Chains A and B, each alone.
Chain A
Amino acid sequence: MRRLVTDTLVIAERNLVRLPRAPELLLAFTVQPIMFVLLFRYVFGGAIKTPGYSYADFLIPGIIVQNIAFGGFVTALGLNEDLHKGLIDRFRSLPMARPAVLAGRTSADVVTNALSATILVITGLLIGFSFHTSVWEAIAGFGLLLVFGYAFSWVFAFLGMLVSTPEAANSVGFIAVFPLTFISSAFVPVQSMPEPLRAFAEVNPFTITVDAMRSLWLGAPAHNNVWGALVWAVAIIAVFAPLAVARYRTAAGG
């Protein structure tokens, strides 16, 4: 167990140290989310009705959750690249704790997620978003965001270990994440969707998490969504972490 912790930290450090040296990765965490915020706020925002809230208030919790899901691509691509470059083989030949390579990667993601969420909130504050709740609830919202992001990192870790090429990771991830994030309450109220989509959107963990974020940041009624979001996050980890580690154990490089 001690080895698991130290090995995980070593790998997490590796992933963070290399980040500033790969400018294309850093762009994915900084400029890209800002672009999305501006796009939605000013291109679509005028046409979307969000009763009770300004679109800036409505958008920021949604786009921040979506952004975290998209940020996971970097995890899938990074792990897949490690696989192809033989790094996973090297790690697997070392006497290190088996889950550490993936746990280190997903832990490092928490830091990058915090970074890009902060950038998004600042951008949001500049375009008219404001917190309507107490500092504690705002902080709790951040915490929930990072838990959800951590859970999603495991989904992408599994994807990265599963597919044969980075290109495949990209397209499979895209096909999965795009509908999940867009058929949710992230950008529009689900009431505006046709019935089948609406039914999907209402049970979509993205909707549940986004609604929980809105309740923590805007004071919107969330019913049980904060707990619902946490349960989803734990369930996703419980399913995908063992799957990803199992793939890692048998992964073949090259």
Chain B
Amino acid sequence: MPAGSDRSTVDTLNAADLARDSGAAAVSAHGLVKSYGSVRALAGVDLEVPTATVLGLLGPNGAGKTTIIRILTTLLKPDAGSAQVDGLDVVRDAAKLRERIGLAGQYAAVDENLTGLENLTMVGRLYGEKRAAAKRRGEELLERFELLEAANRPTKTYSGGMRRRLDLAAALVASPPVLFLDEPTTGLDPRSRLQLWETIEGLVAEGTTVLLTTQNLDEADRLASEISVIDQGRVIAGGSPDDLKDRVGGERLEIRLADAAQGEVALGALASMTDDPPSAEGDLVRVGVRRRDGAIVEAVRRLDRAGIGVQDITLRRPTLDDVFLALTGHGAESGEADLQDAA
């Protein structure tokens, strides 16, 4: 089994720090190009993920995120460009690389007619473990993912969240130093999503490098140290979540007034809260805010002082759509949906 299994004996935070300090990139890709027939899924993608960090690939359906993951996990050969994962070339050293990576895809790839434990034991044996050792490792993972009680139930009786956890557990069977997660929380309820986020954070703290794709800015914000925004097969922006949010314009208040006629007065009352001029559209007023904390209270106080009635007020975080609007001038949905099948 790869080195991952004995990491737990070391102080986990130190292990992650040491790995990060070594500065080596666990994943690097240069000029990846991939076409499906006449459709260009990737048009030259460069990526770099330092060891023990998380890179989030953010983009709409069909942007090419899954194609990138498939190339980096040896499932697909690039037409041009090269990539190394854990020091191994994804094409030349594919067979060897498969021992060093874990993949959890968009679909919970578990056999529905096998139990949770049978699924993990099977994967362990396919990594070359003996049955007994694979079973032990499976039990260990089931316990870690709070699935031990369901260990001997066929996975078709599992909830969506349980299946995703089992899928992630299957990706961790060989304690891979590099983990690829393709939209790990799509379709999960908020509680399961949070659980999965915590698990991923734990793995990174232990020194695992993670490359994940997501359509959810919150997810990228929470997990990723760096984000690459992908659109139409290219990296169109990159940086830390904060960098990215700055470029998008941060969070904003949306205030629905009791009386649309008071829009102008409201804009005047709120103007000094924001760097950009607020806008009013019917009874809806939008105000970009510098600081999240206290923004709602401050706005309500100002409006109240000006004698303006408020029907509803929400603090809206930038969404993927806002990111795309800011970076490309088009919304996320208009990303080429027809690429989705191919990718």
Query: Which A residues form the contact surface with B (CB < 8 A)?
Result: 3, 6-7, 10, 13-14, 17-18, 21-22, 84-87, 89-96, 100, 252-254
Q: Establish whether residues B127 and A89, one from each chain, have CB atoms under 8 Å apart when the complex forms.
A: no
Interface size range of chain B in the complex: 20 to 34
Write 9 A-B pairs (CB below 8 A) sorted by A numbering: A86-B106, A90-B109, A90-B123, A92-B75, A93-B98, A95-B96, A95-B128, A253-B107, A254-B107
Proximity bits, B24-51, A CB within 8 Å = 1, else 0: 0000000000000000000000000000
From 95 to 127 in chain B, residues with beta carbon under 8 angstroms from any chain A beta carbon are 95-96, 98-99, 101, 103, 105-114, 118, 122-123, 125-127
Q: How near does chain B come to A13, taking the closest CB pair, in angstroms?
A: 8
Q: Contact residues of B with A, CB < 8 Å?
A: 66, 70, 73-76, 95-96, 98-99, 101, 103, 105-114, 118, 122-123, 125-128, 154, 170
| Bound-state Cα–Cα, A253 to B73, Å | 13
Min CB gap A93→B, angstroms = 4
Option from A3, A13, A93 in Cβ contact (under 8 Å) with B128: A3
**B125 to chain A: which residues have CB within 8 Å?**
6, 10
Inter-chain contact B122/A90, CB cutoff 8 Å: no
Cross-chain contact B101 with A90 (CB below 8 angstroms): no
Task: Find the A residue at minimum CB distance from B121.
Answer: A10
Inter-subunit contact B118/A17 (CB<8 Å): yes
Which residues in B have their C-beta under 8 angstroms from that of A22? 113
Residues of B within 8 A of A90 (CB): 103, 105, 109, 123, 170
Interface of A, secondary structure class, is helix
A94 touches B154 (CB 8 A): no
How many A-B contacts if CB must be within 8 Å? 76
Interface of B is mostly: loop
Query: Is B74 in contact with A93, judged by CB distance below 8 angstroms?
Result: yes
Q: Is the CB of A252 within 8 A of B113?
A: no
**A6-B128, A86-B107, A95-B96 given. 20 additional CB < 8 A pairs?**
A6-B125, A10-B126, A13-B122, A14-B111, A14-B114, A14-B122, A17-B113, A84-B107, A85-B109, A85-B112, A86-B106, A87-B109, A89-B103, A90-B103, A90-B123, A93-B103, A100-B126, A252-B75, A254-B66, A254-B106
Residues in A whose Cβ lies below 8 Å from that of B98? 93-95
Contact between chains at A95 and B154 (CB < 8 Å): no
- Whether A85 contacts B99 by the Cβ 8 Å rule is no
**A162 to B109 alpha-carbon distance, docked (Å):** 20
By the criterion CB–CB under 8 Å, are A95 and B75 in contact? Answer: no
In the complex, what residues of B have CB within 8 A of residue A7's CB?
A: 126
**B105 is contacted by which of A89, A95, A96 (Cβ under 8 Å)?**
A89
